[in-house]
């Protein structure tokens, strides 16, 4: 059930990733593209066409593409979700879920309130130099509505933005096909989570058209400074294409988990954690261990626990286990850590007897879960740090989403005259070395003025 591989076998299979811009186009995707667009288009071309329409036609394009892609009929007045609809959503969500959302929101807010970036100034380099740190003005959060209503992701993106001081946070989420007599609205738990996160507006728009609306702006949806949040391949392509019009947080791919475990690990817990991440369609769940006995026990537990899960989850897990998951037998824990650093996973879990002894050795991971009581599902929902973390090996150079992502830094240069005069010759020489004569002239203009002024002063004396 849960395959066991050598390091060499894993390097040739499980540990190899496709390039982030490689998209497998299925026959179903081709058929749907022909149905919607009337011709064969690549996913990139399809997204480009949607974005072009949104940019030129605004709300009219949002309505048309929501009808074509989601098969939901919207009016312009229904794009923005009304406060009364948000209040009514509480009646459709279990009270215990509302309590859990509020508990998660409180911990997320507490964690991200510990913001370390702040404005600073120094006079040690002549005059005043420094950096002013300010929050972004307006942030858009995208929440998908496909296989699961990701209310937790809304909290994990909107709340850090709020803690950073962003003035306006808005959410786009696709509308559900409305029941008879009901309005087309996002999932009720998304509306409740948005209310708990104190977002300023919610829009019932999904897909690439939502990304275009937040990037370019429409009559109903004002353009934002930055777009955050996950989505399917078309949403990710849309984020890629609007980058530069606005900022984006990342280009997220399927979730991935690596568990490093030794003989002391509980095989039932390890199996449960692997299954939890394999539940995400296309997810990767890897166990790295020097213990074949543990590997075999975990494999057995995967089969036992999988059999007890409901069908929708089981179907997604079986697909993930077949293609992107398994156990790798390493020489020792040091080799397991080295492999993990090469793979640079989104989540790295240390299920070993002395986890803190290995924390400093972890160089590339979105998040490190230290010990078996810090299991990843707690991080997914209520631990505090955002679960929006780098995927696809980007943990080599990227970081988890935090309040820092919603700040911008402005350099302040206020040199005094003496310092400017002192460093000007170096600036002129560098400008001339680069062949930029006008740059050098701007320096020489000041230097001549300074020399003339100094001569006038000397003559006066």
**Which of 230, 251, 272 corresponds to the end of one domain?**
251
Q: Tell me: do 203 and 286 sit in the same domain.
A: no
Q: Tell me: do 171 and 49 sit in the same domain.
A: yes
Least confident among 37-46, 90-99, 122-131: 37-46
Is residue 130 domain-resident? no
Is residue 395 domain-resident? no
Is residue 166 domain-resident? yes
Q: Tell me: do 188 and 316 sit in the same domain.
A: no
Is residue 346 domain-resident? yes
Which residues, including other chains, have CB under 8 Å from residue 12's CB and lie 6 or more apart?
Answer: none
Is residue 128 domain-resident? no
Alpha-carbon distances of 315 from 303, 309, 377, rounded to whole Å: 13, 10, 20
Stretch 430-441: mean pLDDT, rounded?
97
Q: Tell me: do 266 and 226 sit in the same domain.
A: no
- Report the number of secondary-structure helices (H) and strands (E) in the chain: 18, 14
Alpha-carbon distances of 12 from 8, 15, 147, 282, 394, rounded to whole Å: 6, 7, 31, 19, 20
> Could you say which of 256, 279, 346, 372 is catalytic?
346
Is residue 8 domain-resident? yes
Is residue 396 domain-resident? no
Q: Tell me: do 101 and 246 sit in the same domain.
A: yes
| Total tally of structural domains belonging to the chain | 3
- Phi and psi angles of residue 128, each rounded to the nearest 5 degrees, phi first: -130, 125
Is residue 410 domain-resident? no
Active site residue 346: yes
* Spatial contact of 238 and 47, defined as CB atoms under 8 Å apart: yes
3-state secondary structure 93-128: CCHHHHHHHHHHHHHHHHHHCCCCCCCEEECCCCCE
Q: Tell me: do 324 and 433 sit in the same domain.
A: no
Active site residue 112: no
| Distance from C-alpha of 336 to C-alpha of 347, rounded to nearest angstrom | 14
Q: Render pLDDT for 2-23 as a digit per residue (tens, 0 to 9).
A: 899 999 999 999 999 877 777 7
Q: Tell me: do 246 and 304 sit in the same domain.
A: no
**Which of 383, 402, 432 corresponds to the end of one domain?**
383
Q: Tell me: do 186 and 199 sit in the same domain.
A: yes
CA 187 to chain centre: 21
**Type and span of the H or E element at 327:** strand 325-329
Q: Render pLDDT for 301-330 as a digit per residue (tens, 0 to 9).
A: 999 999 999 988 898 899 889 888 999 999
Q: Render pLDDT for 49-100 as a digit per residue (tens, 0 to 9).
A: 999 999 999 999 999 999 999 999 999 999 999 999 999 999 999 999 999 9
Q: Which domain holds residue 443?
A: 415-460
Give residue 177's pLDDT: 83
Q: What is the CATH number of the domain that holds 93?
A: 3.40.50.1980
* Spatial contact of 50 and 212, defined as CB atoms under 8 Å apart: yes
Q: Tell me: do 191 and 335 sit in the same domain.
A: no
> Could you say which of 280, 347, 387, 421 is catalytic?
347
Q: Tell me: do 238 and 221 sit in the same domain.
A: yes
Q: Tell me: do 168 and 283 sit in the same domain.
A: no
**Which of 219, 234, 251 corresponds to the end of one domain?**
251
Q: Render pLDDT for 178-207 as a digit per residue (tens, 0 to 9).
A: 775 678 999 999 999 999 999 999 999 999
Alpha helices in 233-325 (DSSP H): 233-242, 267-278, 292-307, 311-324
Q: Tell me: do 219 and 106 sit in the same domain.
A: yes
């Amino acid at each position: 059930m849960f395959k066991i591989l050598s390091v060499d076998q894993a390097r040739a299979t499980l540990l190899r990733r496709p390039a982030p811009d490689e998209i497998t186009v299925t026959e179903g995707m081709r058929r749907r593209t022909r149905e919607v667009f009337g011709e064969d288009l690549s996913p990139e071309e399809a997204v480009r066409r949607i974005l072009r329409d949104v940019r030129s036609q605004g709300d009219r394009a949002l309505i048309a593409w929501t009808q074509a892609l989601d098969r939901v009929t919207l009016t312009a007045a229904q794009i923005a979700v009304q406060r009364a609809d948000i209040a009514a959503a509480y009646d459709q969500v279990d009270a215990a879920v509302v309590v859990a959302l509020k508990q998660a929101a409180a911990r997320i807010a507490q964690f991200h309130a510990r913001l370390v970036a702040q404005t600073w100034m120094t006079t040690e380099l002549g005059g005043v130099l420094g950096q002013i740190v300010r929050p972004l003005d307006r942030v858009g959060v995208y929440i998908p509505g496909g296989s699961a209503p990701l209310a937790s992701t809304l909290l994990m993106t909107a709340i850090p933005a709020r803690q950073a001081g962003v003035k306006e946070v808005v959410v786009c989420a696709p509308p559900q096909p409305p029941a008879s007599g009901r309005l087309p609205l996002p999932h009720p738990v998304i509306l409740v989570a948005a209310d708990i996160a104190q977002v300023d507006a919610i829009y019932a728009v999904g897909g690439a058209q939502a990304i275009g609306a937040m990037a370019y702006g429409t009559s109903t949806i004002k353009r934002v400074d930055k777009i955050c949040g996950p989505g399917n391949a078309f949403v990710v392509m849309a984020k890629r294409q609007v980058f530069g019009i606005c900022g984006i947080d990342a280009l997220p791919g399927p979730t991935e988990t690596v568990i490093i475990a030794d003989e002391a690990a509980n095989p039932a817990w390890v199996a449960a954690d692997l299954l939890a991440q394999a539940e995400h369609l296309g997810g990767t769940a890897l166990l790295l261990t020097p213990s074949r006995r543990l590997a075999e026990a975990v494999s057995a537990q995967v089969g036992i626990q999988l059999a007890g899960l409901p069908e929708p989850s089981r179907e997604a897990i079986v697909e993930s286990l077949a293609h992107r998951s398994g156990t790798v037998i390493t020489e020792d824990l040091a080799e397991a850590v080295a492999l993990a650093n090469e793979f640079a996973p989104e989540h790295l879990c240390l299920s070993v007897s002395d986890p803190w002894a290995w924390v400093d050795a972890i160089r590339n991971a979105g998040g490190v879960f230290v010990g078996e009581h810090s299991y990843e599902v707690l991080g997914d929902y209520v631990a505090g740090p955002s679960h929006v973390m780098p995927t696809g090996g980007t943990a080599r150079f990227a970081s988890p989403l935090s309040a820092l992502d919603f700040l911008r830094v402005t350099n302040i240069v206020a040199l005094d005259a003496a310092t400017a005069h002192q460093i000007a010759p170096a600036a002129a020489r560098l400008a001339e070395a680069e062949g930029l004569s006008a740059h050098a002239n701007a320096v020489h203009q000041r230097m001549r003025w300074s020399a003339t002024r100094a001569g006038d002063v000397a003559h006066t004396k």
